[in-house]
């Protein structure tokens, strides 16, 4: 599923007053260390997708079959089914100000992550006024500047291939799904920011090696996609611009309001039955948050071997047609709350792609805030 995007440029940028060597707000009680400035990332060639054979497949992109309302329309979810109200200029389910707000920087020892107050993280260079979700459209370059592309090196084919998505959260760190990185050494991964087309170089595209990485120690302890979260530290500091910016982390569970309309983005498969249908341009689709109560119903995922756990959330449509799919894993579920995009989820798994009663299942980022803090401190 592809979505067009148009709008005006924004001059806002992420400008914290002080940054430490990890790219977060500097803690005055700790000694700053100089960043690694290596920039000799290797070249690469582009991939053909390899689709996992199991029914529960890691997700990467968006099949298309819809004529949803677009920019200013409300998508109201009633028991997870699509119902569209008249245009009001605001998405139904947009959360009010969260309770128990954290400050601009979420602190953890010597690292601080951007939250949603007072910063310009989570602000697009291109407005999010998406047109109707129809086949054949793509995202405008720079519309989701925190989107990362993760490439993996194929030892058998001796080339770099599209592997997963990710979300930039600081000048040094990218969040992704644990299943994207758990079986690969860091030397076999590259991260690209400012990426739009996979078959050519983009004007603001930057390539980074992975200096270090970690995934949740309980990943796969309660099913193949339990605790499906990981962090990558890049080999050099990211210079933010209109096409490369971090996304805000959620402040609390109060922002997970069923019906909140979010955007899932990636370069994954457009047809889960065609392993050659990897998109060459960044695609996106609007999907509403679905309550965990609905997602746990027997008719949805209640009877599946992989249960919906506390660190998971669902988004999409129970009547199918719009979804993430193979190749989008680890990519952001970006939700506009109080005028700013917040990373509510990471693409994780699902039963097929865009199937009826099988919405997308995402990592619930707010559940892992403490883990994220400890992890970036350790890298």
Work out how many domains the chain is built from and give that number: 1
The Cα–Cα gap between 91 and 261 comes to 6
Whether the Cβ atoms of residue 43 and residue 227 lie closer than 8 Å to each other: no
Which residue reads 């949803």 in tokens?
68
pLDDT tens-digit profile, the chain (379 residues): 322 233 322 323 322 223 333 433 322 233 333 222 222 333 333 333 333 333 333 433 222 323 333 322 233 233 333 332 222 222 222 222 222 222 222 222 223 344 443 345 665 544 333 322 223 358 889 899 999 999 999 888 899 999 999 999 999 999 999 999 999 999 999 999 999 999 888 889 999 999 999 999 999 999 999 999 999 999 999 999 999 999 999 988 878 999 999 999 999 887 777 777 788 899 999 999 999 999 999 999 998 888 999 999 999 999 888 888 888 999 999 999 999 999 999 999 998 888 899 999 999 999 999 999 999 999 9
Domain assignment present for residue 69? The answer is yes
Residue 317 lies in a domain: yes
Rounded to whole angstroms, the Cα distance separating 59 from 274 reads 14
Active site residue 329: yes
pLDDT at 121: 64
Residue 123: what pLDDT?
58
DSSP H helical ranges for the chain? 178-181, 292-295, 369-378
253 is catalytic: no
Residues 16 and 105: beta-carbon distance below 8 Å: yes
In this structure, is residue 98 part of a structural domain? no
Total length of the chain: 379
Reference 51, options 300, 316, 323, 328; nearest CA is 328
Catalytic residue among 227, 228, 272, 323: 228
353 in a domain, yes or no? Answer: yes
Domain that holds residue 334: 56-90+249-366
CB 368 within 8 A of CB 318: no
**Catalytic one among 179, 204, 216, 367?**
179
For residue 200, is it within any domain? no
- What CATH number does residue 343 fall under? 2.40.10.10
Place of tokens 């605001």: 90
Is the residue at 133 inside a domain?
Answer: no
- Is residue 127 domain-resident? no
What's the pLDDT at 137? 54
Q: Which of 329, 334, 348, 366 is catalytic?
A: 329
* Residue 352 φ/ψ, nearest 5 degrees: 70, -160
* Nearest partner of 286 among 344, 333, 330, 242, judged by Cα: 333
Question: Do 326 and 5 meet the contact criterion of CB atoms below 8 Å apart?
Answer: no
In-domain check, residue 83: yes
């Amino acid at each position: 599923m592809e979505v067009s995007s148009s709008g005006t440029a924004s001059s806002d940028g992420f400008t914290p007053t002080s940054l430490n060597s990890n790219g977060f707000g500097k803690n005055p009680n700790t000694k700053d260390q100089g960043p690694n400035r290596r920039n000799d990332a290797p070249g690469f060639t582009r991939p053909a997708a390899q689709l996992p054979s199991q029914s529960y497949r890691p997700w990467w992109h968006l099949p298309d079959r819809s004529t949803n309302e677009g920019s200013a329309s409300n998508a109201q979810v009633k028991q997870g089914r699509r119902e569209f109200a008249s245009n009001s200029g605001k998405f139904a389910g947009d959360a009010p100000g969260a309770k128990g707000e954290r400050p601009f920087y979420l602190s953890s020892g010597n690292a601080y992550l951007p939250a949603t107050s007072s910063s310009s993280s989570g602000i697009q260079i291109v407005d999010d006024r998406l047109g109707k979700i129809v086949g054949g459209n793509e995202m405008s370059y720079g519309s989701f500047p925190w989107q990362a592309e993760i490439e993996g090196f194929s030892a058998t084919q001796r080339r770099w291939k599209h592997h997963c998505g990710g979300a930039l959260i600081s000048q040094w760190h990218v969040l992704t799904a644990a299943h994207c990185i758990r079986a690969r050494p860091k030397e076999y991964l590259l991260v690209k920011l400012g990426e739009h087309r996979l078959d050519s170089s983009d004007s603001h595209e930057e390539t980074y090696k992975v200096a270090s990485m970690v995934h949740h120690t309980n990943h796969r302890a309660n099913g193949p996609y339990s605790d499906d979260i990981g962090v990558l530290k890049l080999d050099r500091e990211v210079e933010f611009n209109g096409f490369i910016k971090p996304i805000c982390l959620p402040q609390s569970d109060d922002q997970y309001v069923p019906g909140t309309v979010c955007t899932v983005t990636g370069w994954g498969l457009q047809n889960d039955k065609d392993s050659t249908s990897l998109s060459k341009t960044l695609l996106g689709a609007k999907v509403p948050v679905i309550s965990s109560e609905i997602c746990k119903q027997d008719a949805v995922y209640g009877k599946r071997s992989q249960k919906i756990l506390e660190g998971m959330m669902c988004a999409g449509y129970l009547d199918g047609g719009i979804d993430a799919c193979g190749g989008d894993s680890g990519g952001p579920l970006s939700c506009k709350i109080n005028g700013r995009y917040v990373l509510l989820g990471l693409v994780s798994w699902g039963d097929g792609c865009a199937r009826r009663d099988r919405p997308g299942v995402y990592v619930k980022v707010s559940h892992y805030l403490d883990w994220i803090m400890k992890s970036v401190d350790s890298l």
